[in-house]
Amino acid sequence: MNIVKASIIITSFLGLLGCESTTGESVGFDDTLNKKMTHSYCYQYMYGGYSSSIDYDKASFWCGKAIMDANPKAMSLMAEIYFLGLGQTVDHNKAFYWYEQAAELGHSHAQFMLAHMYHNGLGVMQSTELATQWNDKARFNNHPHAERQKRLWTKTKAKNI
Residues in the chain: 161
Contact 42, 74 (CB under 8 A): yes
> Which pLDDT tens digit goes with each residue over 47-105?
887 777 888 999 899 889 989 988 999 999 999 999 999 999 999 999 999 999 999 99
**pLDDT per residue over 94-143, tens digit each?**
999 999 999 999 999 999 999 999 999 999 999 999 999 999 999 999 88
Q: Under CATH, which number does the domain 32-160 receive?
A: 1.25.40.10
Cβ distance 104 to 134 under 8 Å?
Answer: no
Query: What is the residue extent of each domain of the chain?
Result: 32-160
Which pLDDT value is given to residue 146? 82
Among 119, 67, 66, 69, CA closest to 97: 67
